[in-house]
Structure 1
Amino acid sequence: MKTIGRIEKWGQVTQLQGKNGTMTKCEVVIKDIGGDYADTYVATVWGEEAKKNIAKGTPVAAKLRFFTHEHEGRTYQDIVADEIISLAAKEVVF
């Protein structure tokens, strides 16, 4: 899914130990442009891109990927930000 919105929050970068080595991630909150009741997405950014902190309020175009998985009988939905383009700087952040 592609959306245009503003960065509401760029979370703290965390390191995770996986079976194939260390992974870097952070959570980013993107709110669609459209007022107080616009949709808001909390997405995970993986890898080196997680270290690229974008300021709150920056307008962006984002490519988001939604998927679900089950764990211990419960279903969860995750959102991954595959691409974020800063519209203020007119450059591809990742």
Structure 2
Amino acid sequence: MESKILRVKKCGVMTTVQSEKSENGVLQKRTLVLQELGGKYANSYVVIALGNLATIEWGENQLVVADLRFQTHEYNGQVFMDVVANEIVKL
């Protein structure tokens, strides 16, 4: 896990997805684009927020501290990287 100060570039719409890991079988999910500080060409991450974290509406250009988890998974012989937000706090 890695904590970073980031800027919210985009905040997607919250959706509900099926999840066997959730108590009631559904889980809230939101996709965010977060960018490191340092200008127009700084690194950006497409981040998934799950559960209660997904219910928060994040403002564009808002500064946040995010605890990110980087993980990979394989699907149909291809490897994909997921960036999941464990915690996001507004500054």
Shift of 1:18: 2.7
Query: What's the counterpart of residue 3 of structure 2?
Result: 2
Query: What's the counterpart of residue 14 of structure 1?
Result: 15
- Alignment pair present for 1:26 and 2:30: yes
The two structures have a TM-score, normalised by structure 2, of 0.90
Runs (5+) with no aligned partner, structure 1: 88-94
Distance 2:26 2:10 in 1: 24
Shift of 1:48: 1.7
Q: Secondary structure at the match of 1:79?
A: strand
Which aligned segments of 4 or more residues in structure 1 are displaced greater than 2 angstroms? none
State the aligned residue count: 87
Could you say what the CA RMSD is over the residues aligned between the two structures, in angstroms?
Answer: 1.0
The two structures have a TM-score, normalised by structure 1, of 0.87
